[in-house]
Structure formats: C-alpha cells, structure tokens
Structure 1
Amino acid sequence: MSHWCESAGDAETWYAVLDQLARELPRRHVNLYFQRSRDDMEKELLELRRALPGMKESEIKAAIARWVASAGDAHTQLWWRPEKVYPLTLYWFKEGIYVTHAAPGYGHILNCRLVEINGKGIEEIEKAITGVIAHENKWWLKRNIPWYLVRPEVLHGLGILPDPDRVLMTFRDTGKQPVTELIHALPVSENSVWAGKGGLWPQHPQAPVPEPLYLKNRGMPYWYEHLPDTGTVYFQYNACLNDSSNPLDSFIRQQLAFLRDSDVERLIIDLRHNNGGNSRLLQPFIREVRNMEHVNRPGGLYVIVGRETFSAGMFNGLQFREATRAIFVGEPTGGKPNGYGEVMSFQLAGTNLYVSYSTQYFRCSREESPSFVPDRVVELTFTAYLHKKDPVLEHIFQEKSPYLWRFMLQA
C-alpha cells in the first residue's frame, strides 16, 4: 500500500483540508468547543499536520474522523463513504455481534458471532473504532460499530489491517465452535448485502416463518396495521419525512379516522428505526392522540424506542412523553435528549469527504442524560431475531400492570 503523501502535491491537498477544517468548522458549528477546549483541538490539528508526510490516505481520513468526532456532538462527523466493503452485514445483539447477511460464498458464517479480527479480540477492535464515530452514548455506538467493522479503509486507517483488501475474521458458530475465514473486500456496486446504512433488516431469502412486525415493510417511511385479535393498531414511523407517493398528512388523517371509528383499545407507535428528519411533521398526530381517551390511558398507548431512535425521531418520542400517558418500551435511544442538531454540511476541498455540523442546541427534556431511557428496557437477543420473535411487542401484550408514577403527575 503506497503512501498518499508521497508527493508535495498530495501533501498540499491535505494541508488545505486541515486549514479548511480549522477555519470552517468552528465558524459554522453553533458551539464547537462545548466539550473540548479550542487550544486542545487546535493543538491536535497541528500535530496531525506535522505527521501528514508519513501517513497513508486511510490513516489521514481516520485521524480527521477522530478529530471531528472528539467534539462530542453526534451530529458533527466526517462522512467517509466507502468504495469497498466486506460482503457481510453485522448487528450488535444483546449477546454480541452477529452476521445477519452474507454474500454467496460466505453462507457458512451466517448467524455466527464475530469474536476476532486479524487475531485481535472484538472488544479491542470496538475500542479503536469508537474514536472515529461521533456519539454521545453507548447505544449509538452499538448501532454504528457493526457498520464500520465491514469497511476496509476504516480498519486499515486505524492500523487494524495491513491489507484492506482482505481480512481474517474469526466467528463462533451456533455450536460455539471457532470458524476463521479469509474475507475479501468488494466494490460497493458488486456487494449484494451492503445496505449502505446501519440498523437491522430482514434476512434473505426469507424463512417460511413471517417476519415480525418490526422488520415488516422495513423500507417504508411509515405504515400502520390493525391487529384485531388484540384490539391494537401498530404504527411504525421509520423516518420523519414526507413520502410524496403517500403524503404524510393524508396518511395521518386516515389513521386518525380509523382510530376514532374502529374498535381499537391500544395504539403502539414504533420509533425504533427512526433516526431523524423533521420532528414537526408528526406533531398534529401527537396532538390528536392526546385527546383520544380510549387510547391515551395507562395500557392503551405505547411508544417503542431503541438505539436507532435519534435526532427528530427521539424528539417525537419525547413529545409523546410530555403530552400523553404513553408507556415507553425498548432500548435506550441513540440520541441524547438535550443536545445539538439542525444539521448542515460542507465538502472538504479536493476530496469526496463531507463534514456535518450542528447549528442549534435543543433542550427537550428536564432531565440531563446521555440517552432517553424507556420505562421498560427490553433488549433484542440474537435468539429472538433468529426465531422471528419480537420481545418488545411480547412484553407489551403481556403487560399486567400498565401504570407509572408519572401518570399521577399528569392527572
């Protein structure tokens, strides 16, 4: 692997990038130095500038990603689009990180647990990757680390791999036996299992057993379904945006009419895949649900959140908490209740890299915490995923004491 900065021209490109970062990010971000001092961040950029001539391109990108992420704002990060990826999809379940999708030729490691990369334990790898991911809590890391583990340039830039085109990964199969596999990187365009984003998706080909509701219609921004056997309407809100093929305002009107006119005893709003957009779009729905006494009562209204509930998706969850008697179930959110947002970005000159940054601070909760923690914490296990079960919905349907002290204050 050759050095990126072999020539003066190469080095000059990256010197200009560092100058642009030093100039533009503090100017554009609403409060870049809220966690680290200006002196510390400027000193680190100066040290990177001195080290540039001996660094490879992937190492420079990793160093820039680490510097941007160190600001401590999960919205302020380096967008580092991969050209190649390993032909696997990984997800961090309660028991560990598992292979949920594998390209042809690697089917024997599907549903195996990842334990080592190039002889290094997965805990050591996780610590190294943590530095390049902008985050405010461990749940956002659990969402993103598996996505970074299949990106060769990231692993190479962090010094984990000598050759980004191939990697030795060691897994444990369902019988807990070790399986070591040499995995070759593929261009993104040739990789059949690269989703281009994090999160959990159905396996393909799908098993005869139907997917659980939380993985049904995974690519749709919003949808709902009536579950007559339980008197429930299940509403999955995956993105805070308007789908022109199914405008959100008419979709909301239709769902509200159904809630009023049908025999519905329970409404479940699932936000666990929602990592943002425009939080204002759902406010009319929240206001109307607040006035529906047959669902806005203890045990009649549930909101599901998780590690992917972030930014505007998390803000909508907090609005349900303030306005209604919803009980929250799932994992702590990847987003921080009080933090920075309203994101914009700029391109680093001479590269295909972008830096996103926050332009506003939002205080959405009276409590200061790194995550919004639901009333009932229920984590997804790999066993439940493998057997097409949803422990969160199971908990809701089996709830015997749907009451919280919070409801006394809202009475």
Structure 2
Amino acid sequence: MSNNWEKKWIEDIDFLKSNLINNHKNLFFTTTREEFEEKIEMLKSIINNLDYDEMKVELSRIVASIKDAHTSIEFPVNKYLPFKFYYFNDGIYITKVTKGFEKFLYRKVTKIEDIPIDEVIKELSQIISYENEYFLKAQSMKYLQGADILYGLLICDNIDKINITLEDEVVEVKTINPKDLIYLENIRIPLYAERYKDNYWHKYIKDEEILYIKYNSCKDNGDVSIKNNIVETINFIEKNNVNKITIDLRNNLGGNSTLLRPLIEYIKSNKKINQRENLKVIIGRETFSSALINAYEFKFETNAILTGEPSGGKPNCYGEILRFTLPNSKFRVSYSTKYYKIIEDDSILALYPDEFQEEKIEEYLMYL
C-alpha cells in the first residue's frame, strides 16, 4: 500500500476519534477513554495490511464498541447478495429475492461459505451498533446482504460469488450491484410485510372488523404527510363506526415521535376504541427510537394491549443524533447528543409486550 493510502486513513481515523470524543453526549458510558484510544491506535498500526473492505469493517468495529445503537457508521456497499433475510424463531430464511433467484425463496440458510450461520452472525455482531439482542437480530439481516461486508470480515474470499448452504444444499450465488437490488413484488406475503416503502397506511379487515394501521417510519413520505394520513384514518373511523384498531409499529425505526400524537390523542378520547379488548399495538425488534417513544405513549396513556416481540430500542438510551462525514472515505458517522430517560430502571433492555408473539416462516410458506 502507498504512503498516501496510510496518510488518508489516519486522517479519517483521527477525525472520527476527535469528533466522537468532543461531540457525543457521553462517549465513555460503557467503555473507557483508554480502551477506545487503544483501539484507535491499533487500527492505525495495521492500515497497510488492510484493503478497502477490511477498513470499512474495522472502523465499524471501533464505533460498535461504544455500544450506543444510535452511534454508527455508514459506508457504501458495492456488492449484494440478491436476497433479503429474516431471523425467525427457528433460524434465518430468505424472504425476498430479485429476478432470477425465485427458487431460493423461503429457504433456510445454514452456512455462508463453510461457516455456520450462527458464527457469521457472531462476527457481524462485532461491527453492529446495538443495545439488545432483538435489535441485533434486525440489523444483522441487513449486514448479511452485503457481500463486501462478508469479504471484509474474511467470511468469503470472492466478492463476486459466494457459496451459501440452504439446509443441506450448497449453491453458488452471484452477487449483484446496488442498482439491481430490486425485489420481486408479485409474491403474496403476510399483511404486515406489504407496502413496506409506505411510511403510513391503513386497511380495514372486514372479516375481523378491525382497522389495521401500519406505521413504518416516523417521517413524512415526500408530499404525503403523516398528518394528512392520520386525518384520513380518523375520517374513516368516524364514517364507518370502527370500534377495533391494531397499530403496527414492528418495523418502525423512528424519526419524529410527535407526528403520531394526533392519532394517540384521538384514540384516548374515543371510549369505544380505547378499551383493552379493542386496541392492540404491535411492537418488535425494529421498534426503535421515536417509534419506541410512541409505543410507550400507548402503554402509559391508553388501554392498549402490546403484542409481538420485545423492542429493538432500549427504553433509556442515548439518541437525538447528529452526523459528520469522514474527510477522505466520505463515510457518514451518526452520534448521540442527548440522553432519554423514559422509565426509572436503566437496566431494562427493551419494551416487552404483554402478549409475546414471534413471526414465523409458516406465515410466508402458506402463500407458496
């Protein structure tokens, strides 16, 4: 490697170090400054032994060691496996595929190259920012898609094709470019997995007389505002005399928690809906940040039953992120600027549902 390679990475590493130390609300809440700086110096000493993908991984390892789920590093992924994965109760399955890979749909993954999938997830856990096992389950499935991430972790030695074991069958899978990562949409899937690109939508389920509301992101979706969505929802409820509502927050990673307040206030004032038997809120491993605040608002302010999996977000945590960009690699780094205390007990790692209900691969297999 050239001296210029080393010089630019040292600049980035020092920039990362100084900005995190100076700007994070409390960088050393789980580690010491000495331990952090030791990791920084160790990485600087081995730069010339690493390639670009290995540098991405090692920078992520340092940031992940802070153990703040809101403090993380974003880098480009240039090669993907043509799949989307999900960690079900009995293992990891392929739940979405791109064109030409239909035969792999809903197959169980047991190895990447010759490494058992549990060991692959263990390796990924070292470079992912998380605070509980549920968020790790969610985030690891996204990292598992990145062929150059697997390459940087030395899990595979060819970024263009990777051997994957599907139960007992070993298949060679060619990786694809980001522009080709377009999942097939003409496959029937469970209701909660539909319209995943829409930040907010609702559907009336006639057989059960329930209005299902899916809240995927605490953000306006372009010109479509959450405020207008909520107005439409309330108008539908009033016009159709709806008594039962299910609000699904399981895939909501956050944004602005105040956007949902008009719906929460309406539900609080509606005596028919605000009954334990009529109001359900679904949470899960991707219920995080502002969405977790909304879930607690339902828990504390309404009579809702919380169902699903424990939240990916930790109730009391650092957040309110800002970002900076490393000068040479242009990797984006997010960091926390505020501490949120929702409950008294700091040791509680998640919001736990009243009724535990895991997602199962059978919910997908029924549509084959």
Smaller-chain TM-score bracket: over 0.9
**Which has the larger displacement, 378-387 or 249-258?**
249-258
Q: Which residue of 1 aligns with 2:213?
A: 235
Amino acid in the other structure paired with 1:192: I
Compared CA separation, residues 167 and 251, structure 1 to 2 (3 A): closer
Q: Which residue of 1 aligns with 2:327?
A: 349
**Which has the larger displacement, 244-253 or 367-376?**
244-253
Q: Which residue of 2 aligns with 1:63?
A: 58
Q: Which residue of 2 aligns with 1:378?
A: 357
RMSD (Å) for aligned C-alpha atoms: 1.8
Q: Percent identity?
A: 31
User: Matched residues in 1 for 2:12 and 2:53: separation?
Assistant: 14
Conservation of the 8 A alpha-carbon contact between 1:318 and 1:365:
no
Conservation of the 8 A alpha-carbon contact between 2:200 and 2:215:
yes
Q: Which residue of 1 aligns with 2:160?
A: 165
Conservation of the 8 A alpha-carbon contact between 2:106 and 2:364:
no
Q: Which residue of 1 aligns with 2:309?
A: 331
What's the CA shift string for 1:253-274, capped at 9, x where partnerless? 3322443453322111111121
1:7-18 aligned at under 5 Å gives the runs 7-18=2-13
Conservation of the 8 A alpha-carbon contact between 1:231 and 1:263:
no
| Structure 1 counterpart SS, 2:281 | strand
| Structure 1 counterpart SS, 2:135 | helix
Residues 1:245 and 2:223 are matched in the alignment: yes
User: Matched residues in 2 for 1:310 and 1:373: separation?
Assistant: 13
Conservation of the 8 A alpha-carbon contact between 1:29 and 1:358:
yes
| Structure 1 counterpart SS, 2:28 | helix
Compared CA separation, residues 298 and 151, structure 1 to 2 (3 A): same
Conservation of the 8 A alpha-carbon contact between 1:161 and 1:167:
yes
* Number of residues of Structure 1 aligned to a counterpart in Structure 2: 367
Q: CA deviation at 1:349?
A: 0.8
Q: Which residue of 1 aligns with 2:93?
A: 98
**Which has the larger displacement, 57-66 or 156-165?**
156-165
Q: How high is the TM-score relative to the length of structure 1?
A: 0.85
Q: CA deviation at 1:130?
A: 0.4
Q: CA deviation at 1:183?
A: 1.6
User: Matched residues in 1 for 2:6 and 2:124: separation?
Assistant: 25
Q: CA deviation at 1:112?
A: 1.1
Q: Which residue of 2 aligns with 1:205?
A: 186
Residues 1:133 and 2:123 are matched in the alignment: no
Gaps in structure 1 of 5+ consecutive residues: 1-5, 173-177, 194-202, 390-411
Gaps in structure 2 of 5+ consecutive residues: none
| Structure 2 counterpart SS, 1:33 | coil
Q: How high is the TM-score relative to the length of structure 2?
A: 0.95
User: Matched residues in 2 for 1:286 and 1:271: separation?
Assistant: 13
User: Matched residues in 1 for 2:69 and 2:187: separation?
Assistant: 34
